[in-house]
């Protein structure tokens, strides 16, 4: 099958305004908003569809706040794979309608009341006993190693990325190890429910892996809601990003990186 969309090969950009604003003269932005559907998750979507087609999977189901579900439905176009999106009841009407337009089915639940495991997601999505269903909410960090392949020649001292479930963080770490880079990895998260909604995850299967990575000297920074809002307001008119992406800039002032080569990952512009 000829693919309608391809992810990756996103630009590595410099912005004088950001360099001056944060006093980091060697700051580059890996702009994942330039993927087909505006998010780094396009990489995992393409990766998942390739594997699922070879495995003769009927349905892919996932918990999503918008970006990952929309991306997956679009990459599934032209295949026989159905995509079921499980969303929180509080998700905006505009995002829900966008998901309904492209996915096989959208299921609304209260994500704050229960931690839904893969078996729960599969049970909600199932329509037939013969159906082959995968839960793809997590577990595809390998797709993000390609980001390191694209930036490895820059040999950054620091790589700063948003950290939600940890899938991207772990994928970047494994990419750094693969290419034997000495780059220090920094994950940036939030302390509680936030406008950076994609970063607040009460449960993640990557918890133990993240803890091991941090023991190697890499870092995890949590921003307060005030810091998240401040970062987004500062950069929203400079770079095309959503609040969950802008947290990397909030972390810049907390790190001693003024004389270092820094790459910050803009994970995307959000599904609006």
**Pairing verdict, β 105-109 and 82-88:** parallel
CA 182 to CA 155: how far, in whole Å?
8
**What contacts 203, CB < 8 A, 6 or more positions away?**
115
pLDDT band of residue 195 (cuts 50, 70, 90) is very high
pLDDT tens digits for range 25-48: 999 999 999 999 999 999 999 999
Beta strands in 12-132 (DSSP E): 12-13, 27-31, 59-63, 82-88, 105-109
Contact by Cβ (8 Å): 46, 75: yes
Domain identity same for 128 and 20: no
177, 128, 187, 120: which is closest to 148 by C-alpha? 177
Domain identity same for 155 and 259: yes
Instruction: Taking residues 206-231, report their average pLDDT.
Output: 97
Among residues 75, 102, 135, the one where a domain terminates is 135
pLDDT over 90 (residue 215):
yes
223 beta partners: 190
Q: How many residues does the chain have?
A: 272
**Res 1: pLDDT:** 56
pLDDT tens digits for range 115-140: 899 999 999 999 999 999 999 999 99
pLDDT band of residue 201 (cuts 50, 70, 90) is confident
**Domain limits at 76?**
41-135
Domain identity same for 148 and 258: yes
34, 35, 15: which is closest to 25 by C-alpha? 15
Q: What percentage of the chain exceeds 90 in pLDDT?
A: 93
pLDDT over 90 (residue 2):
no
**Res 69: pLDDT:** 96
Domain identity same for 96 and 20: no
**Opening angle at CA 250, ends 244 and 256, nearest 5:** 135
CA 106 to CA 91: how far, in whole Å?
12
Instruction: Taking residues 87-106, report their average pLDDT.
Output: 94
CA 191 to CA 131: how far, in whole Å?
39
In-domain check, residue 271 = no
**Res 176: pLDDT:** 98
pLDDT over 90 (residue 221):
yes
CA 244 to CA 28: how far, in whole Å?
18
pLDDT band of residue 203 (cuts 50, 70, 90) is confident
Contact by Cβ (8 Å): 268, 67: yes
pLDDT over 80 (residue 3):
no
Helix, strand, or coil (residue 233): helix
With 0-12 / 13-18 / 19 or more C-beta atoms within 10 angstroms meaning exposed / middle / buried, residue 9 is exposed
Instruction: Taking residues 233-261, report their average pLDDT.
Output: 95
Q: What percentage of the chain exceeds 70 in pLDDT?
A: 99
pLDDT over 70 (residue 220):
yes
In-domain check, residue 239 = yes
In-domain check, residue 2 = no
Contact by Cβ (8 Å): 35, 5: no
**Res 272: pLDDT:** 54
Instruction: Taking residues 93-99, report their average pLDDT.
Output: 94
- Looking at the structure of the chain, the number of domains it has is 2
133, 131, 136, 8: which is closest to 69 by C-alpha? 136
Domain identity same for 80 and 204: no
In-domain check, residue 4 = no
Residue 144's Cα: distance from chain center in Å? 9
pTM: 0.94
**Res 268: pLDDT:** 96
Among residues 114, 135, 156, the one where a domain terminates is 135
257, 256, 254, 236: which is closest to 245 by C-alpha? 236
Looking at every residue in the chain, the average pLDDT score rounds to 95
Domain identity same for 255 and 155: yes
């Amino acid at each position: 099958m000829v693919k309608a969309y391809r992810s990756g090969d996103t630009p590595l950009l410099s912005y004088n305004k950001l360099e001056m604003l944060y006093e980091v003269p060697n700051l580059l932005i890996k702009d994942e908003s330039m993927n087909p559907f505006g998010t780094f998750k396009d990489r995992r979507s393409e990766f998942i569809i390739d594997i699922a087609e070879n495995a003769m999977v009927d349905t892919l189901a996932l918990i999503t706040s918008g970006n990952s579900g929309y991306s997956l439905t679009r990459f599934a176009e032209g295949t026989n794979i159905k995509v079921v999106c499980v969303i929180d009841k509080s998700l905006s009407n505009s995002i829900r309608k966008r998901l309904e337009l492209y996915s096989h089915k959208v299921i609304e639940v209260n994500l704050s009341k229960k931690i839904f495991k893969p078996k729960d997601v599969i049970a909600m999505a199932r329509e037939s006993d013969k159906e082959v269903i995968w839960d793809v909410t997590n577990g595809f960090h390998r797709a993000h190693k390609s980001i390191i392949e694209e930036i490895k020649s820059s040999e950054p001292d620091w790589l700063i990325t948003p950290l939600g479930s940890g899938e991207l963080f772990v994928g970047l770490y494994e990419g750094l190890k693969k290419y034997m880079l000495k780059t220090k990895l920094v994950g940036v998260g939030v302390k509680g429910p936030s406008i950076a909604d994609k970063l607040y995850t009460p449960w993640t299967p990557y918890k133990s892996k993240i803890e091991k990575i941090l023991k190697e000297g890499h870092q995890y920074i949590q921003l307060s809601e005030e810091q998240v809002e401040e970062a987004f307001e500062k950069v929203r008119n400079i770079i095309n990003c959503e609040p969950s992406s802008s947290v990397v800039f909030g972390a810049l002032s907390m790190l001693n990186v003024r004389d270092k080569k820094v790459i910050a990952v803009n994970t995307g512009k959000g599904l609006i």
